A and B are shown apart, each in its own frame.
Chain A
Amino acid sequence: MQIIEKIKTNTLLSNPTEIQKICLEKLQSNPLPNLKSELWRLSNKSKFLKFLDFSLNGSCTNFEFPYQNNSQNIIRLIIGENSQININGENYSINQLNNEELIAYIKQNVSSFDQNENWSDLLNLCLSFEQNILGLRIKGKKIPPLEILSHATHNSINAKTLILIIEKNCNLDLLQINLGTENSSLSQSTYFCLEANSSVNHGMVAYGENKSNLLNSLNVIQKQNSEYNLGSLHFKFNYARFEIRIKQSLGNAKTNIKGMQITKNDEQIATYTKIEFNGPNGFLDQINKSLADDKSHAIFEGSIIVPKIAQKTDASQLSRNLLLSNHAQIDTKPQLEIIADDVKCKHGATISQLNEEELFYMRSRGLTLAEASKLQLGSFFKEIISFIPVPKGRWDLLNKLLKQD
């Protein structure tokens, strides 16, 4: 809670930047979200307060990527490493946004933020120091895959902000990695603006260590004819919350989301998504998978909002959940809010355990129970992992997940 106390008494920062000032002002009178509101009611209160119980750390420790870069063909960036980024290739360019552009963009976003709904973003911007805000403008085609990493440091709360403006007709593959370390809190906010006709394959992989916490927020604005594909994976966090807000600002855009969260021990991982269609002919295909074991708690709340203007929207949302222990809990709430009449919207949700008949089939062919369960889990995971773009191979995610068992 020390962070909240400091926000209240306005002693958090000795020399706040313009952005920090604006966000602090929004939070000052009411520094906590309404924990009884729909968006927060399932959050474990003590875990959430633990998240805030670290001292703020803005300095950048040197960080080694967890694996070697043996390909020249990947561009790697670590948020917080202070170097001017200007990469110009044959058909593309990646440039860091200058300070004015950055401030203008953030200000524009913040102006529409609601204290409760965008609390994670407001907190992030309060805590994020200048060097921890990375803004990029990306143009062109045949861009080498990008890897962007955020990481936390021991015994502290860290805030990292990423802003990406994807110019018209640009295609990009991006893997974003959020790493927690022991006893740490990481607040990560990401802003995407996809201009017309652009397409992004976005991978979001987040995993922690013992007692690491994560507040991960993703805001995407899609202009017409853009395509946004997101594959996300969250695991090994004591407390993690992933908020996705996607707005198809003029409709006519395509969104595919495949997300997964895995909870063990007494972890709590939650995914909240809000997809808004602000124009006609939008498309959404979303699947979210949760797996809860031991005494853990997995949460998914997804809402799809189709106003009157969004005729001919085609949206589907599926929540598939595996509950593997008697002490674990799964909550899911796929939600539709529709006003337009000429739309196709559907959602579905299932909660079950591993399929017994399938297990029996495999065992009758000589597999042990452990092998058979592993095979079944593998197929459950694979649908999501195969959706995470290019550099995924190196992370060997599937093995990492299965080895956990």
Chain B
Amino acid sequence: MKDVVKEPYKYGFVTDIETEKISKGLNEDIIRLISSKKEEPEYLLNFRLNAFKKWQQMKEPNWAELGYDEINYQDIIYYSAPKQKEKISSLDQVDPKLLETFDKLGIPLTEQKKLTNVAVDAVFDSVSIATTFREELAEHGVIFCSISEAVKNHSDLIEKYLGSVVPATDNYFAALNSAVFSDGSFVYIPKGVTCPMDLSSYFRINSGDSGQFERTLIIAEESSSVSYLEGCTAPMFDTNTLHAAVVELIALDDASIKYSTVQNWYAGNEEGIGGIFNFVTKRGKCLGNRSKISWSQVETGSAITWKYPSCLLLGEESIGEFYSVALTNNLQQADTGTKMIHIGPKTKSTIVSKGISAGKSKNSYRGLVKMGTKAIGAKNYSQCDSMLIGDQASANTFPYITSQQQNSEIEHEASTCRISEDQLFYLQSRGIEFEEAVSMMVSGFCRDVFNQLPMEFAAEADKLLALKLEGSVG
């Protein structure tokens, strides 16, 4: 079994491209420099400086079930961008090397790949490279661009909403991101519009010594809806790279946002050397009545994952959903889950979390369900299943449940299992190869979550899991 050839991390190449980097380290001058490079207005610089001040007073959290070497925040480059002479208006002007990179990654960036009907915003190191399908989206009034562009062209929206869901002082990593964020995606769906295509952003870390700090902001006005996909890869370096992102979603009355992630950052090698430290704060605010925010994620990469996509359910009858598959192998560690904060009446939430731990990895689910005093008639259902492969891996479940409202219902269940010998034997006796049988069973285990993913993601996720687990059973 161990002899099965392991497919290496296929996104591990480095693109040799001229980049503009600033010097290592973090201080007020660096922040001013980033801000001036991006020609930002005053309020944003203050936002950054304020966050930085708070960050300096904060302590790195240590409550998660994660063990990693201390991060030297002064040894990181906080801004790195591929050198480009001028602002690009069409894809033809993008450095062909960059386009090649995204081609290698299978990202439909060029217009020929229009058929896939997904609009893409590609973020390379710190800067957004290109956003496709702009005109078509603009016809519907949808704004889809990089955050830096949004700061210039839609400053009012940025000023109003940036930091309104995840305040700059929310937590250590959110504060760091608020101080130094470089780019990210901005989406605005106007009233009554159903976004005509899936939106997608693609994040790529290329250099080994720069961190990536992107920020995503999605605003769905009344009765609008959007589906957003996010993918991540990074080259293989034997140093750890820091990724601290913030994602903010805002759904007004009757709006719905679906946010799907396939995270496949480089996870480090079998000895746990290298890999991305992934500290992400994702939060959605169901501000309007009957609004809905749905998170679905497939987490397979990163040496360390620290991520809790959450929903603040404020509006009456608003709905929060969280579907997650987290897979850890070798020496990966993941501490992930969600928070469902029920504030408004008749709010509903569903949590389905599937954790798979193989090798010597550590996989923890940590989730909070809270019913506030006004959440009359609120309901929550959570299900967390863990699958253990091999006797070196660990699976933990930490559900925090709090209720202050008698007219609410909370149900939580969790189970742990392994791939049963009987099932394997059954499949093998019917001529299915061992490896395939394992992958079938893992895929079956995750079915509830995959069903929630957009189709092309679901297929990719299935393959990704099979790939990641190769050689770990036996």
Contacts and interface: CB of A to CB of B under 8 A. Distances in A.
Nearest to A330: B403
Contacts of B94: none
A144 interface: no
Contact of B391 (A38, A308, A350): A308
A353 B396 contact: no
The bracket for how many chain B residues form the interface is 35 or more
A218 interface: no
A352 interface: yes
Contacts of B396: 335-338
A347 B402 contact: no
A212 B373 CA distance: 28
A346 B406 contact: no
Interface residues of A, number: 35
Contacts of B398: 333, 335
Nearest to B400: A333
Given A333-B400, A335-B398, A346 B413 contact: yes
A145 interface: no
Given A336-B416, A346-B416, A348-B414, A341 B391 contact: yes
Q: Secondary structure of the B side of the interface?
A: strand
Nearest to B397: A336
Interface string A323-334: 111111111111
Contacts of B397: 334-337, 347
A339 B412 contact: no
A345 B412 CA distance: 14
Nearest to B65: A337
Contacts of B50: none
| Chain A contact residues, majority secondary structure | strand
Contact of A339 (B389, B394, B409, B414): B394
B38 interface: no
B404 interface: yes
A348 B412 contact: yes
Nearest to A300: B401
Contacts of A347: 397, 412-414
A114 B392 CA distance: 27
B112 interface: no
B416 A323 contact: no
B399 A350 contact: no
B201 to A, nearest CB: 35
A334 B410 CA distance: 13
Contact of A332 (B373, B401, B414): B401
B57 interface: no
B411 A350 contact: yes
A324 B405 CA distance: 9
A334 B416 CA distance: 14
B393 A351 contact: no
Interface of B: 63, 371, 373, 386, 388-418
Return the 4 tightest CB-CB contacts between A and B, nearest first. Answer: A341-B388, A349-B412, A346-B415, A345-B416
7 contacts: A326-B404, A329-B402, A335-B396, A341-B388, A344-B417, A347-B412, A350-B410
